[in-house]
Amino acid sequence: MRLNKIFKNTLLVLAACLVLSACATKKEVATDIKGQMQGDVYTGTDTVEYLADGVPDRVFFATNESILTTASRETLRTQAAWLRKNPNINVVLEGHADERGTREYNLALGERRANAAKDYLMTYGISSDRITVLSYGKERPVDSGSNPLAWSKNRRSVTVKAN
Amino acid sequence: MTKKILILLFILIPIKANALIEVDITRGNLNPLPLAVSPLSIDEESRKGFEKILKKENIGSEISTIVENNLRTSGLFNPLDKKAFLQAPDIANLKPRFEDWNLIKAQALITGKVNYVDDKLRVEFRLWDVLAAKEMMALAFTTVPNNWRRVGHIISDKVYERLTGEKGYFDTRIIYVSEEGPKTQRIKKLAIMDQDGANNKFLTLGNELVLTPRFNPASQMVTYLSYFKNMPRVYLLDIETGTQEVVGDFPGMTFAPRFSPDGKKIIMSFAKDGKSDIYTMDLENRIVEKITNHPSIDTSPSYSPDGKYITFNSDRSGYQQIYVMKNDGSDVKRISFGNGLYGTPVWSPRGDLIAFTKLHKGKFYIGVMRTDGSGERLLTENYYQEAPSWSPNGRVLIFYRETKTNSKGEGFSAKLWSIDLTGYNERQIKTPTDASDPSWSSLLSN
């Protein structure tokens, strides 16, 4: 009986926590949309993974664009430095588009974005033999949302270890 | 799948082509023609024979139901409720009492009978003009019993053609991409079904991503994009035998494939170094030709029905727009000049129009324009829709539509829809799973 009561109370507390945290995250999202995008390029870190300590794996693009932003170029220089230090590692650059475009055009756009990243890595001394480009178009979003923030996370080129 | 479907077709009585009733399909039909589809009559012995083979209690009514559904979904006809019919099917087929059919306001009447002859299905049917009290058409078919659904579609096509003056589109199939799973990890399979959703079959297992299947207009071959071994390439699939092969030997992604109207070439895009250009490959001699050569994205090519021209979309102007060129790549002309972005142009089998997807102010439209870009007409607006494909008679477009997800990213779905060229009769085509990238076949029987 007593155990049961404790259990019940714990549940209540847990439920209260859930409600509170739900509110907290909602507020954060509302205030953070601006802070997470510059123009319509994603600048947040939610979806970013790391190839190694301090080496982010992805760069983001504006709608219909494949131009690298200042932040993207910095990320790619970090990747290039890491690749130079690890000459045995090859990479696949996976290019993606958001859902607001026709499927076939988006396949081409994903390829163009990944190639923009590839060209930049090459200017920093990475041989094209070590880089494969693979476009997924809009087929593999990271965020399933139908809003500008979700789309900005999905317009990306991700550097993935190939071996 | 049956390799060759043999249907013997003969006209019972020669008829003058002077249609008494006419259905105008060039405008939106708000008053579909009321007609009665009397169930095909069947004698007891034949009924039992078919019940044994086909496990259908009354194949005569089953075939009539197919005809009824086809004519109804075309939006041009209004099949009347069978309960109101006053004359029995067998007698109606011999000699309709026109005053009875007139009474329930039927303007046309379809009657017929089914027989089980030498293990074959024999169907005859007649189309009657009720007001003029005249027979308009009488046809008979003999085929293997398993083809009973196709018999229903062929009757529908004949009736449609007789009453509208244009070929039907019911004895056709649709190939599409079946979708399942969360939006971030969709599992996609090639699937094929009859135009009315029956006989759905999956052609791939879902182990790799597949996209954009398209029928060969001249045969039962399909071209599509597969991520087999994580290498996006254009493939050719024979849906009769299941054999498939990579199209060409390109050092990178090939995509957006379609057949030439004679079925002898595949036209597609090849992406390299951030540029996508249009290429063709001849399926007989394997010769590859580069058709466009521009630093922009050139994709979604589609031939004119005479094969002399190609329409495609390109962002060479800075944004996605529709262009037309000669089949050798010369004489490139931009044809879309309205507000917004234009993609996925598809040339009508009639030759006079190009269907497209348009994005303007956050909305997606399916529309049509003349081949010089004039006369743009938007048929339907939605959150997301694209990839129109023409019915073989050029009167209906099938496309897919995706829903907006809610604030938690839930509620995503993708479905097939069709709409008449007139902008009327928009309806969803039911599929067992979510669906996208539909492509309409030619008529199976000609």
Domain range for B75 is 8-24+32-164
pLDDT at residue number B212:
98
Kindly indicate the confidence band of residue B220, based on its pLDDT and cuts at 50, 70 and 90.
confident
Q: Name the domain boundary from B113, B142, B164.
A: B164
Kindly indicate the confidence band of residue B26, based on its pLDDT and cuts at 50, 70 and 90.
low
Whether the per-residue pLDDT at B276 is higher than 70: the answer is: yes
pLDDT at residue number B28:
60
Identify the residue with better confidence: A7 or B10: B10
Residue B188 maps to a domain: yes
Considering the domain A39-161, what is its CATH architecture? 2-Layer Sandwich (3.30)
Residue B155 maps to a domain: yes
- Give the A window 112-131 contacts with B, CB below 8 Å: 112, 115-116, 119
- Give the A window 74-113 contacts with B, CB below 8 Å: 99-105, 107-109, 111-112
Q: Which of A101, A135, A146 sits opposite B404 (nearest CB)?
A: A146
Same domain for B368 and B223, yes or no, is yes
Q: Does A134 touch chain B (CB under 8 A)?
A: yes
Count structural domains, chain B. Answer: 2
Residue B445 maps to a domain: no
The rounded distance, in Å, linking the Cα atoms of B65 and B51 is 17
Indicate the SS3 state at residue A131: strand
pLDDT at residue number B407:
86
Kindly indicate the confidence band of residue B240, based on its pLDDT and cuts at 50, 70 and 90.
confident
State how far residue B184 is from chain A, nearest Cα, in angstroms: 5
**A23-37, A60-74, B331-345: least confident range:** A23-37
DSSP label at A129? G
State how far residue B268 is from chain A, nearest Cα, in angstroms: 10
**B217-226, B326-335, B358-367: least confident range:** B217-226
Same domain for B255 and B404, yes or no, is yes
What's chain B's average pLDDT? Answer: 93
Q: What is the pLDDT of residues B55-100, one digit of tens each?
A: 999 999 999 999 999 999 999 999 999 999 999 998 888 889 999 9
pLDDT at residue number B219:
84
> CATH code at B182?
2.120.10.30
With CB atoms and an 8 Å threshold, state whether B186 touches A144: no
Same domain for B311 and B397, yes or no, is yes
Whether the per-residue pLDDT at B18 is higher than 50: the answer is: no
With CB atoms and an 8 Å threshold, state whether B297 touches A135: no
Whether the per-residue pLDDT at A60 is higher than 90: the answer is: yes
Same domain for B237 and B288, yes or no, is yes
The rounded distance, in Å, linking the Cα atoms of A79 and A72 is 10
Against a cut of 0.80, is the pTM above it? yes
**A16-25, B168-177, B257-266: least confident range:** A16-25
pLDDT at residue number B193:
97
pLDDT at residue number B20:
60
- Give the B window 360-399 contacts with A, CB below 8 Å: 362, 383-384, 386-387
Q: Does A66 touch chain B (CB under 8 A)?
A: yes
Domains in chain A: boundaries: 1-33, 39-161
**B4-8, B111-115, B152-156, B315-319: least confident range:** B4-8
Whether the per-residue pLDDT at A21 is higher than 60: the answer is: no
Whether the per-residue pLDDT at A29 is higher than 50: the answer is: no
Answer for the pair B46, B395: CB distance below 8 angstroms, yes or no: no
Same domain for B124 and B183, yes or no, is no
